[in-house]
Amino acid sequence: MGTLRRLDWVFSMYPVFYVTACTHNRKRILNQPIEHESFVEFASRSTQYGVWVGRYVLMPDHLHLFITFGPDSISLSAWMKSLKNAISKCLKSASYPPRHWQKGYFDHLLRSEESYDQKWLYVRDNPVRAGLVKTVEDWPYSGEISRRDL
């Protein structure tokens, strides 16, 4: 039986995941400076747990991010639970009543650098397509936290 060469390409040592999470009932609560700061702070500290967040976009009612995990990291589900909790604490302190998040999230394993760049170009343009800004540079709730293995 032959080997599946494609699996070597798909499953690199530290694969990159594209993740989307939505707010409960698509409430428009994520596009504020305080929520953005909370996200960036949490994502920046994640390297302590073997998790690297690359590019991201916070939309009013959902977020997109690219993430990779090191060999001794926590799981994607544990990290997402912690992220949602951190942002929920911020939302509560800003007087947004709970429930803040839909259950679960969508994740997709990227297969190559080309796939990452291609997916990023689509994600990056979300605020423009939604009519929130005229250019991607005008959207203040996006960026890149870490470039490690992404």
Taking only the tens place, the pLDDT of each residue in 30-77 is: 999 999 999 999 999 999 888 999 999 999 999 999 999 988 888 999
Domains of the chain: 20-144 (3.30.70.1290)
- Short-list 124, 120, 115, CA closest to 58: 124
Taking only the tens place, the pLDDT of each residue in 91-122 is: 988 888 889 999 999 999 887 766 888 899 99
Is the pLDDT at 8 greater than 50, yes or no? no
Is the pLDDT at 14 greater than 80, yes or no? no
pLDDT of residue 147: 74
Burial class (CB in 10 A: 0-12, 13-18, 19+), 40: middle
pLDDT of residue 114: 67
Is the pLDDT at 148 greater than 60, yes or no? no
Mean pLDDT of the chain: 87
113/83: higher pLDDT: 83
pLDDT of residue 123: 95
